[in-house]
Structures are given as C-alpha cells and as structure tokens.
A and B are shown apart, each in its own frame.
Chain A
Amino acid sequence: MKVVDVDLHHQIDWKAVAPYVDGGLRWRVTRPGGPPTARHGYKMVGAPKMPSAADPAQVRAEYVEPRGIDRAVLVGNHLSLGVQPYVDLSAALARAINDWTLDVWVRPHACFKGSILVAQQDPIQAAAEIDRLGDDPGMVQVLMCSAAESPFGRRQYHPIYEACVRHGLPLALHVGGEGAGISNKPTGAGHPTTYVEWYGALPLSYMGHIVSMVSEGVFQKFPELKVVLYEGGIGWLPHLMWRFDKNWKAQHGEVPWLTEPPSTFVLGNFRSTTYPLEKLPDLEPIVEMIQGERTLLFGGNYPNQEYGDPFAMVEELPAGVRERVMARNALDLYGERLLAPNA
C-alpha cells in the first residue's frame, strides 16, 4: 500500500440516487436539477477547467490507476447537506447517497472506500444512519459538513460522536457549505464578497469547531474519536494551539473537566488533509509544529485540482514526512477497514 488518497469527490448523480430515496420524498429528487438546495452563492470565476468525476470506471482509468493510488476515500460533492433547511429530506438524501455510493462506486471497485454522509441538522437520525452502515466494510468514516448552525462541541451533536466511537469510525469534516442555508455567516466578520475571500476563510470553521469541541469536553467524553479536517490547510494550527493553551492556563476554572492543555487534543484527535497546503517559502517549521508526520493525510481533491497537482504539492513536505503522509497515516487512522474487501 503506497498511496492512500483520502479526498476524492465523486459526483452525485441525482437520477441514479433517486430510487434509493425513501420516506415518500423521492419526488423531491426526480425533478430536473435534483432536490431544492440552498447555495452560498460564491463561484469560482475564470479558474482552469477540471474533469468530471461522475463515472467510477473513468475515474479509475484517468486518475486512480495512472497515479498509483491503492485506495481512494470518497467524499462526494454535496458539501452543504448538513445546513439545508429540509431536515427530513436531508436525512433521506444522506441515506440514499450512501446506498448509491456503496452500490455503484464502492462494492464494484476495490480501490474505492466510502464515507457515511450524515445530515447533522438532526443528530438522532444522523446517529441512526451511522448505526445502519457503521459496520459495512466499504465504509471507513463518517462525513459531515463544517458549515454549521452551532459549534460542534454543543451537546446536541454528541450522539453523532457516540455512534462514531461505537463503530470505530473517524469523523470527517469538509468545508464548502459555509454561508449556505441555515449555516452561520461564512466568517465571524460577515459575508465575504468574493470566492477568493470565502475560500481563504473556510478553515475558520475548523478553528471554531476545535475550540468548541475541546472546550466542551468532547474528547474527554469520547477519547477515541478522531476528526479529519478536509481542505483547510495547516498554517493556522500552531497559533490556535498556543493561544488556546495559554488561555486555558488562566481560564480552566471555567471548564474544570478539561484537565489537559487543549493542544493535547488538537494534536491527538485531529488530522488534516494536504490539499491545498499553504504556499510558503518554507513549510517545514509548520509541519514540525503540528507533528505532520503523524497528523497529515494525503488528499488529492480530485477532480478539483485548480490549485495545482496534489502529488507535486506534497513534494513541498519534508521527505520523511511525505512518506508517512502518502499512506501510513491513513492506515493508522482507518485501520483494517481500508484493506478489507468491500463486500
């Protein structure tokens, strides 16, 4: 196992997904253009055109095999499901997308592994979905969007974490729904005007969630829970750990359950993907500060590779780190499931 790509955006085909939709809501999906979907309104302008990832055989032939990828973890392209206004429709879509992904992408192709998509508007249904598919050998993690109504430390989300731990699954968070539907403003400062600004600020969601989850004691309650942060970069992590630790020293009386410095959990329970890494004259000190040799996972972000080739990007990592990032860290995180047959 030389290359595990944890970040492949297979394209959801609503026509194909429709038959899997239950609960009397299939009609919502069969209309042209798919289900009603709240959008944030930011769009790439003038960026290089990218291929589609709609056909599993084609993705294998054009990307997975030529790039020597042994396993690719699918994360789909519905990155705002958890902030859509229809709660039950979102839960039904999550179930349908998961079944379709298993049937069409994962079971017929040993190189693909799935993520259990959940709609966190209703944490109880989300946890039920994790229980429904949590032991399927084709699924290696739970996936929800980082765009949020509330920070993820809040108690209402804990049933999701409990279900992840019950099935030994990491929780993947993916940016992209920020500013859509029932989510908060895409930054604390307000609504950006451009895609550049919006994209530049996306990992602020991760910062807000990390501060909330650690402060609210999520990792005291669920020490085994691992959280994978997709497409957020790494350059903000050192600052976050240092500021958080320093504040904790003086303010821990507020959160008496938090008995270790916050950075313990930031380094121990969170992982980050590599696409896109920050473009800096020297990335190495930051990689060292975040213990990248343990915490970084190779992500290709196929087919959305507007910011450059993901394999070339990881060349910017120190060689010893790169080796672990390409496969070892993913194997450590996902374990046996990554190697098991899909059916």
Chain B
Amino acid sequence: MAVASAPGTDSLAERAAKLRIVDTDIHHDLPGAATLRPYLASKWHAWLEDGGPSFAARGVAHVGSGRMDDSVNEADGLCAGDPDWVVEQLIKKYRIDLGILTGTMYALNAQRDVRFLTAFASAYNDWQLDRWVRPYPCFKASIILAAQDPESAAREVHRLGGDPGVVQVLLPGLGQIPFGQRIYWPIYRAAVEHGLPIGVHPTADVGNTGPQTSVGWYGSFLEHHTDHSQAFMAQTISLIVEGVFEEFPSLKFALIEGGFGWAPYVAGRLDRIYPALKREVPYLRKLPSEYLRDHFYFSTQPIEEPKDPRHFEQMLRMVGEDKILFASDYPHWDFDNPLTVLHGLSPETRRKICVDNVLACYGERLLEPST
C-alpha cells in the first residue's frame, strides 16, 4: 500500500516524489455515539444513553441510500466504520497513498447545546486519532469543532494543533454569521499558529443556521446539493472582504465539495466593483482576486462535467490548475473514482491535482509520521 505507511529513511522530498494520489475528502463513520464514551467525561454520558444525541437534521434525502452500496461492510452495516475496510475498499482499490479524513460531523456548529458539542468534538478528535490515524499511516485527521463558540473552538485547535496526525481544521459550509467576521478570528489565529489550513465542507443548513440560499428553503435534495456552492461563494466573499488575509497573511482555506467553477465570478465581480467602492474597505491592500488566488484551494468532487470537455479545461485554467485538490468523497453516492475522473487531463495536470497542490495546501505534515 501506501508510501506513507513505510516512511523508512526517505527524505520528505523523496516521499513526496513517490506519491501518486492524495484524497482530501474521506468520510469515515463514527459507529454510534457510544463509541466516544471512553473519551467523554462522565458528566456527559447521559447524552450517549437513550440512543445518543439527537441532532437537527434536514428533511430532504437522496434517491437511494446516499452512499456507495457496493462498499457496505456487512459486519457493521457501514461503508467507513472500520479503517481496515476503508483501506481495502478505497485506499488499495484505487491506489491512494494518503487520505484526509473529514468524517460526518461537519454540521456540529448548527446544533444546539454548545457545551455538550464542545466536549463531543474533543472526544471525536481523540477517537479518530486513536482509532484511525495513529495505527494507519495512510490517514490524516481534520480537527472538528463546535465553532459557534469560537473561544472554546480555538482552545481545541491549540490542544491538538501540534499533533502530527492532524492536517487541518474543519468547518462546515455555514455558521450563524459569515466566516469572515471577527467572531471567528480566534479560530483562525490558532490555526495559523499551528500552520494548519481551514477546510470547509458542506454544510450545516439545519438547526441554528438558515438555508444555504439567500431566498429561503429549498424543496428537494437536488436543490440542497446544488445550492451548496452558494454558501461557499458567500463565505469566500466574506473572508476576502472582511480582511481576514490582511490579519492572517499565511492562512489558507481548502473548500471541499463546493465546486470551483464559480471562482472566476467571485474574482471578476469583486475586482469590477473594487475601484469604485474601496474606500468602504480601506483595510484591504490587494485586489480581491489576489486574495482569492493566494489563499484558497478547491477540491474536485463532485467534479464539474460540462457537455463540452473543452469548457472544463478552460475553467480549470481560469481558476488555476495549481489551486485544485483531488477529492473522492468516499463513500458517498457521488464518489469520484480517482483512476478515471481526471482522465481527460494531461499527466502533468493530474499530478498537480492529485499530489503537488495537496502538498502545497497541507504542507509537510502530510508526509510526516503521525506518532
């Protein structure tokens, strides 16, 4: 299997050169909240009884199960509850060297009781390091947070930010207010201190947040999933315009599963209006498109599929082929097969998307041993 599983004596550069595919979006399952019992103080155990915590959930659902039914493990009924199973079903089968775990808890900051959720996030983070990352060199973790309490969330980033098993801080697509606003800055400050990028994954349009759209609630899963990118666009505009990157010049965002074809819009719209309106935002020192170029990466899945493949390559060039990260979204219904999904691109471009760009975004931690 994976290069990273046998670090041996290779230098980081040698190990990087041997990588073929890094997958930036693997959804490992928590097999029941009770799994976290050993990681939670006893005062929270009541939450794990009577069937576990009740989280707000959206009322629209996929056609089908929402996952790759051919990857279900009969032992636990899950596609990604057992790391050995995922090694077989994903890592080996699709020749992936390294995978970044994104879990299934990205909507915590839309949920209700922030005290419990903060404890839950810490327990989850400890569990994934113990169960998935330390024993399996092919997996790296994302720190999940209850970001509606940014001070506690920043403490969690500090608690684990130096751990070699974690490579990013993960936020959902939505909070109660846009991500550029200062309330979130303690999280960004902590991430920067530990050299971690912020991953953003859809979505959290349940519970405490509103709908992803600016016009109200959708009426189907088709709309829900298509609307994800609207939340991402809004967050991107907020992060740029609020001056987050003047305050944190080394901060990077990896936008996962929100598409990338909208990036030229954000760059072009803001650059068009900036000369006339810049006196409102005197703290900005660069063109909006420059912040977008310097601080954002975009994952591929669900890869955009125009009828004319030429359009895909044109869009890739406009966004910048050094800004795109491969992601499979295993084991979800719209999984992108890494061996086929980029087949139309040149080997050099595929290499960038599957390896070089991922290393540029996540840095050397990705190659270091997790223990």
Contacts and interface: CB of A to CB of B under 8 A. Distances in A.
Nearest to B241: A197
Contact of A238 (B219, B225, B306): B306
A278 B223 contact: no
Interface in B237-294: 237-238, 241-242, 259-262, 264-281, 288
A215 B220 contact: yes
A205 B215 contact: yes
Contacts of A236: 233, 262, 265
Contacts of B210: 184-185, 188, 190
A233 B225 contact: no
A27 interface: no
Contacts of B174: 188-189
A238 B315 CA distance: 9
A131 to B, nearest CB: 26
17 contacts: A151-B215, A187-B231, A188-B213, A194-B242, A197-B238, A201-B234, A211-B227, A215-B226, A239-B315, A240-B262, A247-B225, A277-B272, A278-B272, A279-B268, A286-B318, A289-B314, A308-B272
Interface size range of chain B in the complex: 35 or more
Given A150-B216, A215-B223, A278-B272, A246 B175 contact: no
Contact of B234 (A183, A189, A255, A285): A189
Interface in B195-250: 205, 210-223, 225-227, 229-231, 233-235, 237-238, 241-242
Contacts of B334: 246-247, 250
Contacts of B271: 278-280
A34 interface: no
B179 A212 contact: no
A31 interface: no
Contacts of A149: 216
Nearest to A216: B219
A244 interface: yes
Contacts of B159: none
A116 to B, nearest CB: 21
Contact of A190 (B177, B217, B260, B318): B177
Interface string B308-342: 00010011001000000000000001100000000
Nearest to A233: B269
B256 to A, nearest CB: 14
Interface in A179-212: 183-197, 199-201, 203-205, 207-209, 211-212
Nearest to B333: A250
List the 3 closest pairs (A to B, CB-CB), nearest first. Answer: A278-B268, A46-B279, A235-B265
Interface string A238-281: 11111111111011111100000001000000000000111110
Contact of B270 (A147, A150, A200, A208): A200
Interface residues of A, number: 79
A190 B302 contact: no
A244 B226 CA distance: 6
A311 interface: no
A251 B221 contact: yes
A200 B273 contact: yes
B363 interface: no
Contacts of A201: 214, 233-234, 237
A201 B265 CA distance: 10
A45 interface: yes
A192 B178 contact: yes
B63 interface: yes
Nearest to B266: A200
A246 B329 CA distance: 15
A187 B306 contact: no
B63 A188 contact: no
Nearest to A306: B276
B62 interface: yes
Given A205-B215, A207-B230, A190 B176 contact: yes
A39 interface: no
A189 B213 contact: no
Given A254-B63, A285-B311, A184 B216 contact: yes
Interface string B335-369: 00000000000000000000000000000000000
Interface of B: 62-64, 174-181, 205, 210-223, 225-227, 229-231, 233-235, 237-238, 241-242, 259-262, 264-281, 288, 302, 304-307, 311, 314-315, 318, 333-334
A216 B215 CA distance: 15
B277 A45 contact: yes
B172 to A, nearest CB: 11
Given A46-B280, A242-B305, A253-B63, A151 B237 contact: no
Given A189-B179, A189-B231, A196-B273, A211 B306 contact: no
Nearest to B225: A247
Given A236-B262, A243-B259, A254 B220 contact: yes
Given A45-B279, A201-B234, A238-B311, A243 B213 contact: no
A61 interface: no
A146 B214 CA distance: 10
A205 B216 CA distance: 9
A85 to B, nearest CB: 16
A143 B311 CA distance: 33
Nearest to B220: A254
Interface in A217-244: 233-236, 238-244
A47 B277 contact: yes
A151 B277 contact: no
Nearest to A234: B265
A29 to B, nearest CB: 28
B274 A196 contact: yes
Contacts of B267: 278, 280
Contact of B272 (A47, A254, A255, A279): A279
A239 to B, nearest CB: 3
Specify which of B215, B222, B311, B315 lies most central, judged by the most chain A CB atoms within 10 Å of its CB: B215
Contact of B181 (A184, A193, A212): A193
Contacts of B261: 238-239, 242-243
Nearest to A237: B265
B212 A188 contact: yes
Contacts of B242: 193-194, 197
Given A188-B234, A201-B233, A245-B305, A196 B280 contact: yes
Nearest to B61: A254
Contacts of B270: 196, 200
Given A194-B281, A197-B180, A285-B314, 18 more contacts: A45-B279, A47-B276, A150-B216, A151-B223, A187-B234, A189-B234, A189-B238, A191-B178, A197-B238, A197-B241, A204-B230, A238-B261, A239-B304, A243-B302, A263-B307, A278-B268, A285-B315, A289-B311
